[in-house]
């Protein structure tokens, strides 16, 4: 039983390390979405980003280039991918911790 427990502990530490790596990678991709505001008949674009409890608007200009839209799309896709991976690893970590807490039958 000691060998199996050792393997499970190793798997748990590996999963925790991977989760930290994914969380670091997730921070590299900015969140938010583009907002169009109309002020005195003119249209302006902003990037809305949540910082804690507040939403911050970052001015992007009167027109948005295709590269801005593409960057936001790629960022959203990568954030979604990393969030899914983090969720799966979180469940795996909980499962492994439950197994390791269990009593051994001697």
Strands across the sheet with 33-39, in order? 33-39, 42-51, 54-61
Is 106 contained in some domain? no
Q: Tell me the torsion sign for CA atoms 27, 48, 84, 92.
A: positive
Q: Domain range spanning residue 63?
A: 2-101
User: What's the domain count of the chain?
Assistant: 1
3-state secondary structure of 51: strand
Is 25 contained in some domain? yes
Q: Show the beta-strand stretches assigned E in 1-104.
A: 33-39, 42-51, 54-61
pLDDT at position 44, please? 87
Is 79 contained in some domain? yes
**Distances, alpha carbon 93 to alpha carbons 4, 9, 15, 77, 88, in Å:** 16, 10, 7, 24, 9
Percent of the chain topping pLDDT 70: 95
pLDDT tens for each residue of the chain, 106 residues long: 678 888 999 999 999 999 999 999 988 887 777 888 888 888 888 888 888 899 888 888 887 778 877 888 888 889 899 999 999 999 999 999 998 887 655 4
């Amino acid at each position: 039983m000691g060998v199996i427990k050792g393997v499970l502990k190793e798997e748990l530490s590996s999963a925790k390390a991977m989760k930290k790596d994914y969380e670091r990678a997730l921070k590299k991709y900015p969140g938010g979405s583009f907002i169009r505001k109309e002020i005195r008949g003119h249209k302006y674009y902003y990037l809305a980003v949540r910082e804690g409890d507040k939403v911050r608007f970052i001015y992007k200009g009167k027109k948005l280039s295709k590269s801005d839209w593409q960057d936001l799309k790629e960022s959203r896709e990568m954030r979604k991918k990393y969030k899914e991976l983090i969720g799966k690893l979180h469940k795996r970590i909980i499962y492994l911790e439950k197994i390791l807490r269990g009593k051994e039958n001697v």
